[in-house]
């Protein structure tokens, strides 16, 4: 029997931990805000591919993941993956589905407004579509902090505090590491707080102070506002109903323009009757600049590139087929993809946005719900004729919509896999080695059976991106 | 009459100059040696596109030219363009014709040997094919010095000295600017020389000395051996006949392997009974490294690129469609083309050759006799199937040969211009917007009527570069 004692203690310890977890695993809804666009990580980020979708972070198994995939994985590892909703805009819908599959719900705003309308729409989805009860705890968080397991433990604690009804709104306070001018600050009242100092009540907010003021705030024990909020769904829906009384999510979404363009901080956090802050002092970074992002890469080279012997702290990320050789430059980032090629001192990389704004007129690489494409060539000839050549890969079982173009013809040469082609209503099997000509004005669609790649040559006079009409098509089983 | 005096003198002066020119404009044959390959200017130079073919130098009219085009233009401006022969290897034939058209003769060695066989073959061409007389003056020079008009004036003087039979061999001596270890030296005898010091007799040669020896040589008035030689054709043919007695150029070329692998300097210059040197002290550079080449560029940016404000003495050459943005790096060269992308401190750029030797397995851009092509995509898929996508442009009136492939199919989508297509012996007109499928095992050829561009998608399993059989085809007039 004595032999069993350690096992007994271990089992007992497990039971206690499990019981503690059980208290924390409330019926929580986690909403990830996925917005942003722009070119601070140009050329890899563009209007269709924000920084959170770049597959540059290495997992423990050596595979690569994006910031969004990392956050969703971490949430899952913390036991929070049951009820994840991503609030985003229509342009990001495809890439989110491509990266996360059907494991999450996605709510898209019909137009870009601000964080209050976006969160109002997500709350309406949970309440009106998903029929979550008013006392459900909702946690809102950004989709791309570079953080650690403790962050998600803090989210659990926030949900716990919200469940205790300690405050109308509970937010995460990041322990500041320096008096930054870039963040909003949360000043707690120190005479208050829950058991074991689990939270503090908030006295006031201060948005982006000067360095001197920030230094004062740090002395007062202020936190950075991490943009993570927990509340009961009914609390938020009461605010939503002040702007819109609606019985269905579809109706709310159709009337999205009625919500005021205002941030969640101003509309909700600063007006709340009571706000609690739960501190987090672990790793928390925004990998929004090349300097910050390359600091977290495990390797100096990603993709087809060689660093010569005279480089120090130089990173190369190459998504092109062309090999890159770099030598004799230190503290530099080289990033190449079909949108462009960046060679920049890391110290100067925060300011590239203004210079590259007008470089390149169209995305040259996109992730879509059905797969990905790369632009291989985009040329306008002397006679005004335009040709656009792409390499397009569809995931097995995925299809592009049944469509027609009025000004361009397309030639598809299949180079990998098998698929089902529809041309003017006729369905047939196609496979690598075949070529299909889609003349102007003919209905067409393609569905992958196995992973399917084809080279598409568009020609037109000129080519118009919007020259596409989509129709319904019932694929055979 | 007095009014006419200046005119009279001017006319007289002109007559004297003209007479002097007349002496110098002998019936000279100019042979340009075009060899080299390799990767010192990687990625722009490759085995098919040596440095002399890179169109990076700006002409007075703002247009661009290659080193070879510049030398031929300068020779023309010096009145030497009548009889130019380019001695080269088969791989360079197409690009030479593409760059110079039919204005020059081209002699190709059937295999690479050394400079003596190459010059022997060119001399045989002049003697046996072009039927030049034995007393014809031949001047041999490299095809790519970055030099000035005075260089070609020196060539005239060399021909003049050779015509006077002052020596069996006349060579150009470059006035040294520093005690270089990289050059061969020519030491003159200073008690000798022609009228007005036009030339000196050569005492001895010294190949690549140490710096100390070079310093001594400079004190003795030695010259760098510029690799420019003038001789009577008969003199060279006597040496040629020691190795090969032949009545026809074709026969000489077929037996090319019988010539010893030896340099012209060792086989001819160092064995000559008498050698004269004609000095040249003007601009003379080898633009064979990125450091040297960028020093002669008129602009810091060639192609689609932007330099940010924190760059100094940085050059960007972009032959890709993707835009490049560079900031925060100084004394750096960025060069991008389908063969690869280089980012290198200029001081480290002399050593790139060893690192890039194995980067990229095939040329991604080539100039051919009929035009140019760019590789857009080159992918081998999981099932072993290979696809290669190219953009191919034919010059008006030019054609690719009538050919057949046994392992690959090709799909041509015409995106610019008009041409004549032959498919299995049937000729028809094609134009932009049309697509032609060339299945495995079908004879095909294409000829441009106007400038013709098409996107070619090759698929095979695998693709073999040499999978091509060429046949004769008589194009209709």
Shortest CA gap B397–chain A (Å):
18
Shortest CA gap A232–chain B (Å):
48
Nearest CB to B457: which of A42, A437, A455? A455
The nearest alpha carbon in chain B to A417 belongs to B383
Residues of chain B above pLDDT 90, percent: 71
Q: With an 8 Å Cβ cutoff, are B322 and A364 in contact?
A: yes
Q: Residue B256 in contact with residue B262, Cβ under 8 Å?
A: no
Nearest Cα residue to B105 out of B137, B132, B74, B134 = B132
Q: Which residues of B touch A336 (CB under 8 A)?
A: 322, 341
Shortest CA gap B310–chain A (Å):
8
Q: What is the predicted pLDDT for the residue at B3?
A: 38
Q: With an 8 Å Cβ cutoff, are A340 and B347 in contact?
A: no
Q: Which residues of A touch B342 (CB under 8 A)?
A: 324-326
B426-431 and B340-345 strand pairing: unpaired
Q: Residue A224 in contact with residue A209, Cβ under 8 Å?
A: no
What whole-number distance in Å separates Cα of residue A350 and Cα of residue B457?
40
Range in A265-274, B43-52, B181-190 the model is least confident about: B43-52
Exposure letters A38-65 (e unless 16+ CB within 10 A, then b):
ebbbbbbbbebbbbbbbbbbbeeeeeeb
Nearest Cα residue to A215 out of A172, A178, A187 = A178
Q: What is the predicted pLDDT for the residue at B191?
A: 61
For residue A32, the Cα-to-chain-centroid distance in whole angstroms is 8
Q: What is the predicted pLDDT for the residue at B1?
A: 34
Shortest CA gap B314–chain A (Å):
11
Q: Residue A422 in contact with residue A471, Cβ under 8 Å?
A: no
Q: What is the predicted pLDDT for the residue at A192?
A: 54
Q: What is the mean pLDDT of the segment spanning B205-219?
A: 93
Q: With an 8 Å Cβ cutoff, are B332 and A336 in contact?
A: no
Q: Which residues of B touch A431 (CB under 8 A)?
A: none
ipTM of the complex: 0.80
Nearest CB to A387: which of B341, B415, B461? B415
Q: Residue B75 in contact with residue B81, Cβ under 8 Å?
A: yes
For residue B465, name the pLDDT band (cuts at 50, 70, 90): confident
For residue B12, name the pLDDT band (cuts at 50, 70, 90): very low
What whole-number distance in Å separates Cα of residue B159 and Cα of residue B151?
13
Nearest CB to B341: which of A336, A364, A383? A336
pLDDT at B13 over 80: no
What whole-number distance in Å separates Cα of residue A227 and Cα of residue A73?
20
Exposure letters A287-315 (e unless 16+ CB within 10 A, then b):
bbbbbbbbeebeebbbebbbbbebbeebb
Q: With an 8 Å Cβ cutoff, are B455 and A457 in contact?
A: yes
Q: With an 8 Å Cβ cutoff, are B352 and A326 in contact?
A: no
- Neighbouring CB atoms inside 10 A of A323's CB total 22
Gyration radius from chain B CA atoms: 26
Nearest Cα residue to B233 out of B140, B115, B153 = B140
Q: Which residues of A touch B303 (CB under 8 A)?
A: none
Q: With an 8 Å Cβ cutoff, are B322 and A338 in contact?
A: yes
Nearest CB to A328: which of B345, B374, B383? B345
Nearest CB to A355: which of B306, B320, B374? B306
Between B175 and B351, the more confident residue is: B175
Structure tokens at B64: 């661009």
CB pairs under 8 A between A and B: 232
Q: Which residues of A touch B348 (CB under 8 A)?
A: 308, 310, 327-328
Structure tokens at B474: 């008589």
Q: With an 8 Å Cβ cutoff, are A329 and B336 in contact?
A: no
Q: Which residue stretches of chain A have pLDDT < 70?
A: 1-26, 37-38, 191-197, 360-361
Q: What is the predicted pLDDT for the residue at A365?
A: 83
Q: What is the predicted pLDDT for the residue at A369?
A: 86
DSSP-derived letter for residue B257 is G
Q: With an 8 Å Cβ cutoff, are A455 and B387 in contact?
A: yes
Shortest CA gap A344–chain B (Å):
5
Q: Is the pTM of this model over 0.95?
A: no
Q: Which residues of A touch B409 (CB under 8 A)?
A: 433
Q: Residue B462 in contact with residue B435, Cβ under 8 Å?
A: no
The nearest alpha carbon in chain B to A418 belongs to B383
Nearest Cα residue to A143 out of A56, A51, A59, A76 = A51
Q: What is the predicted pLDDT for the residue at A196?
A: 53
Structure tokens at A51: 């920084």
Instruction: Return the residue in A336, A455, A458 with the most chain B beta carbons within 10 A, the one to mutate for interface testing.
Output: A455
Q: Which residues of B touch A324 (CB under 8 A)?
A: 340-343
What whole-number distance in Å separates Cα of residue B69 and Cα of residue B144?
9
Q: With an 8 Å Cβ cutoff, are B343 and A323 in contact?
A: no
Query: What is each CA distance from A116 to A33, A122, A238, A256, B188, in whole angstroms?
Result: 11, 10, 13, 11, 88
- Neighbouring CB atoms inside 10 A of B153's CB total 14
Which three-class secondary structure state does DSSP give residue B60?
coil
- Using one digit for the tens of pLDDT, what is the confidence trace for B262-319? 999 999 999 999 999 999 999 999 898 999 999 999 999 999 999 999 999 999 999 9
Q: Residue B402 in contact with residue B459, Cβ under 8 Å?
A: no
Shortest CA gap B227–chain A (Å):
33
Q: What is the predicted pLDDT for the residue at B366?
A: 83
Instruction: Return the residue in A343, A365, A454 with the most chain B beta carbons within 10 A, the one to mutate for interface testing.
Output: A343
For residue B405, the Cα-to-chain-centroid distance in whole angstroms is 31
Q: With an 8 Å Cβ cutoff, are B340 and A325 in contact?
A: yes
pLDDT at B192 over 80: no
DSSP-derived letter for residue A161 is H
Q: Which residues of B touch A318 (CB under 8 A)?
A: 341
Q: What is the predicted pLDDT for the residue at A17?
A: 41
Which three-class secondary structure state does DSSP give residue A191?
coil
The nearest alpha carbon in chain A to B353 belongs to A325
Q: Residue A355 in contact with residue B327, Cβ under 8 Å?
A: yes
The nearest alpha carbon in chain B to A338 belongs to B322
Helix axis angle, A67-77 relative to A149-163, nearest 10°? 60
């Amino acid at each position: 029997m004595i032999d069993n004692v350690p096992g007994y203690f271990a089992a007992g310890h497990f039971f206690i931990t499990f019981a503690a977890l059980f208290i924390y695993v409330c019926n929580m809804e986690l909403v990830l805000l996925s917005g942003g666009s722009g070119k601070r990580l140009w050329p890899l980020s563009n209007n269709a591919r924000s920084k959170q979708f770049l597959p540059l972070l290495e997992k423990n198994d050596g595979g690569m993941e994006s910031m969004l995939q990392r956050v969703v994985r971490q949430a899952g590892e913390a036991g929070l993956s049951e009820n994840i909703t991503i609030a985003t805009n229509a342009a990001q819908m495809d890439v989110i589905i491509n990266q996360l599959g059907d494991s999450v719900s996605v709510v898209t705003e019909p137009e870009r407004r601000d964080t209050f309308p976006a969160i109002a729409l997500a709350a309406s989805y949970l309440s009106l579509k998903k029929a979550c009860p008013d006392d459900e705890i909702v946690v809102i968080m950004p989709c791309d902090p570079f953080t650690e397991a403790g962050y998600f433990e803090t989210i659990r604690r926030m949900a716990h505090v919200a469940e205790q009804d300690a405050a109308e709104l509970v937010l995460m306070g990041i322990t500041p590491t320096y008096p930054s001018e870039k963040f909003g600050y949360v000043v707690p009242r120190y005479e208050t707080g829950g058991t074991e100092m689990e939270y503090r009540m908030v006295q006031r907010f201060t948005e982006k102070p000067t360095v001197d003021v920030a230094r004062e705030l740090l002395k007062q024990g202020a936190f950075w506002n991490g943009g993570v909020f927990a509340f009961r769904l009914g609390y938020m829906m009461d605010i939503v109903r002040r702007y819109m009384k609606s019985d269905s999510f579809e109706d709310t979404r159709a009337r999205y323009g009625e919500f005021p363009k205002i941030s969640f901080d101003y509309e909700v956090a600063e007006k709340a009757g009571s706000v609690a802050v739960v501190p987090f002092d672990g790793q928390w970074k925004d990998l929004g600049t090349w300097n910050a992002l390359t600091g977290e890469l495990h390797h100096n080279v990603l993709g087809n590139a060689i660093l010569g012997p005279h480089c120090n702290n130089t990173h190369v990320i190459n998504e092109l087929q062309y090999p890159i050789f770099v030598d004799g430059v230190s503290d530099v980032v080289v990033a190449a993809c079909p949108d462009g090629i960046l060679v920049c001192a890391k110290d100067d990389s925060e300011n590239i946005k203004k210079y590259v704004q007008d470089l390149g007129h169209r995305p040259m690489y996109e992730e879509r719900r059905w797969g990905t494409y790369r632009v291989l060539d985009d040329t306008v000839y002397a006679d005004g004729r335009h040709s656009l050549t792409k390499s397009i890969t569809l995931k097995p079982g995925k299809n592009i919509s049944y469509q027609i173009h009025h000004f361009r013809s397309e030639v598809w040469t299949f180079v990998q896999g098998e698929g089902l082609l529809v041309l003017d209503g006729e369905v047939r099997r196609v496979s690598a080695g075949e070529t299909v000509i889609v003349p102007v004005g003919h209905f067409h669609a393609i569905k992958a059976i196995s992973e399917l790649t084809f080279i598409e040559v568009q020609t037109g006079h000129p080519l118009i991106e919007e020259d596409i009409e989509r129709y319904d098509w019932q694929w055979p089983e």
